[in-house]
Structure 1
């Protein structure tokens, strides 16, 4: 794998495109750092796109801002300069109040990091966008450390291999980029999400004419309060992906989305998939586990589903519960629906939920209908591991 010297320091574009307000009727000046790809009046990225933009433009009032992004106003669609399009995108983002804030983004297309959400975009002709030819993964940011980054990266690169996406950099270079992106974000508690795509180039089916594969990453700060309360799940009627695709963490998440929506429509939190043989498989973006009345922790096999990093870590941490006598055994095996629904405890496990008790599956109440002691104990172990686990699972970030 080739070595890239510039990776020792990824350029950061602070507020990549910023507008200084000028009072009165005078137009606003577009201020762009000299080292930014938008400088010198030219929009140039490393994916081969180039275009001119206007250096000065008028900024509409807040009321006007809402009117020009109104999807109903289609009688006369405006033709925008590059700078006008970027500013409208910024105004659109600012008008939408979200609990998630995007603190920084890296793109190999412009070879650097930006902290301006309006510039956090990818080319429309990227094959990940219009063909779904891309993979992704994530890592939690807790107290300034990335949790299980190496484990997630290994799965990420394996997904890329299975999707036949060539790596733009080697593993260590990708890791340095991700750590520097988190550092630039100043985010100490949040999440890092990253993608590999076959890259931009055209709108054909095959990626043969793509310029090169592309790496993207974004740091997300979420202000939503944590919720570990028990939930209801349903059996999914959406067909599960075949193992060849279920074991790859690709961007093709339409079945997952429809499964989640189905659960919500039925008053549930998530839908549970069964595999082709009728055994319990997984949720839309989490694994499942059970505690039998004999105090055995059971988790479905990973050969037909996505190999959950958090689920595997939970299996390791659960050994402590065996030592304490809260569990008698831990097994990964095929689990029938009858065995799952008759369990003393059922739980969802994943990086997004950590550990969340399932109180009801379809019409069947699980156990006594309350959050179980093993689920609570396992959640406590994971939370402690997130904050003060060993160096093998925590990568410190220098801010």
Structure 2
């Protein structure tokens, strides 16, 4: 047995390493039973075997005894707060894509940051590990927020359905969202925002959450809206029950799987059918059709998300009725057969605006080309975003 008075303290979860040290009654030296010193590290003799050990020093100067025959602690560094922040910055700088994140508000730190590395959410937020959160969005066009109030009303309804209390009243939330866009200097992009049960613990119930949270992020995206016709398929992923489909919550796994299914089949999106077999919606957009009788029909919102963009399109479509391009506008149940036999089909949502569909499964829609009504509706909503009435365009004070 060797005395290692100069050996630094260490912690190990290896059962072969003694968990306690024994202090000699006559001095302060530390002794380790069956431990011998070698030039290459520390050796532990156990049951006649000899295992090579070595000491590792981390960035915070703590030391650990590591068994080379098992996983190495050095593979997972113990980072200080500053080191973690630097790595977050590096990660952001090396993973820039088409979208740029220009500003974020967080009620957790009570302010706005323009540093993408600081745009983080606490891991114990119940929106993260329990999906207890709702969200919404608003387009930023020429320095204006498009349909901010309509989307804000919807997220408040979603929060009520999800039993999430508000961190602030409606007017203060509205001011925060506008100020976040102002701080970003973004004039074309989108604002996305969340209401969460908030951070607190990792339990199922939100009862221990300190307070609900509000997050918002401004995304700059210069990609133009595309009017090219697309192909869709019928989704095999089960649609969400109406209780969850009618609120815009963060539980989007079915939506993600539906979109992935479309990608895997060379399609743009997959269309959901409701429990009665009627056409429902896409993964993050509504669906509409133009019948041979020149009716614009859209599935009822009773069991699906009430799309703000879809509702605005229905309002703008009245202009096409006045011009004689449409006969009627109806919101009702639509069968798959009726949809596939339509002259036109289109997807409608804030991400695509109005996107013509030219094929559904193996069925070509109409003449297989982008329909005139879909293209007219796309032009109408783009014009509305640029010069519509004050109720749909909120100026941002930069």
Q: Aligning the two structures, in what range does the TM-score lie when normalised by the shorter sequence?
A: 0.7 to 0.9
Give the equivalent residue in structure 2 for 1:149: 148
1:37-68 CA-partner distances (Å, limit 9, x unpaired): xxxxxxxxxxxxxxxxxxx99xxxxxxxxxxx
Task: Give the SS at the match of 2:103.
Answer: strand
| 1:97, distance to aligned residue in structure 2 (A) | 2.8
Q: Is the 8 A contact 2:270 2:282 kept in 1?
A: yes
- Inter-partner Cα distance in structure 2 for 1:353 and 1:170: 31
Partner of 1:86: 85
Aligned residue in 2 for 1:371:
370
| Aligned position for 2:320 | 321
Once the two structures are superposed, residues 284-342 of structure 1 have per-residue CA deviations (whole angstroms, 9 ceiling, x without a partner) of 00000000011000000000000000000000000000000000000000000000000
Match of residue 282 from structure 1: 281
Using structure 1 for the length normalisation, give the TM-score. Answer: 0.81
* CA RMSD between the two structures: 1.5
Cα distance in 2, alignment partners of residues 334 and 212 from structure 1: 41
Write the distance in 1 (CA, Å) between the matches of 2:265 and 2:87: 38
Is the CA contact (8 Å cut-off) linking 2:288 and 2:297 kept in structure 1?
yes
Match of 1:308 in 2: 307
**Contact between 2:225 and 2:353, CA under 8 Å: does it hold in 1?**
no
Aligned-pair CA distance for 1:223: 3.2
Give me the whole-angstrom Cα distance separating, in 1, the residues matched to 2:111 and 2:74: 39
Q: State the match for 1:95 in structure 2.
A: 94
- Quote how far apart the aligned CAs of 1:227 are: 1.8
Q: Is the 8 A contact 2:229 2:356 kept in 1?
A: yes
User: Equivalents in 1 of 2:108, 2:282: separation in Å?
Assistant: 34
Query: What aligned pairs does 1:1-399 form with structure 2 within 5 A after superposition?
Result: 76-399=75-398
Greater gyration radius: 2
Residue deviations 1:241-293, cap 9 Å, x none? Answer: 01000001000000000000000100000000000000000000000000001
Q: Which runs of 5+ in 2 are unaligned?
A: 1-58, 61-71
Deviation, structure 1 residue 222:
1.1
Instruction: Tell me the SS of whatever aligns to 1:322.
Output: helix
Q: Distance in 1 between matches of 2:362 and 2:74?
A: 51
How many Å separate the matches in 2 of 1:223 and 1:281? 30
Deviation at 1:75, TM superposition (A): 5.3
- Flag structure 1 segments of 5+ consecutive residues without an equivalent: 1-55, 58-72
1:109-144 Cα shifts (integer Å, max 9, x gaps): 010000000000010000000000000000000000
Report SS of the residue matched to 2:75. coil
Aligned residues: 330
Tell me how far apart the structure 2 counterparts of residues 229 and 189 of structure 1 sit (CA, whole Å): 22
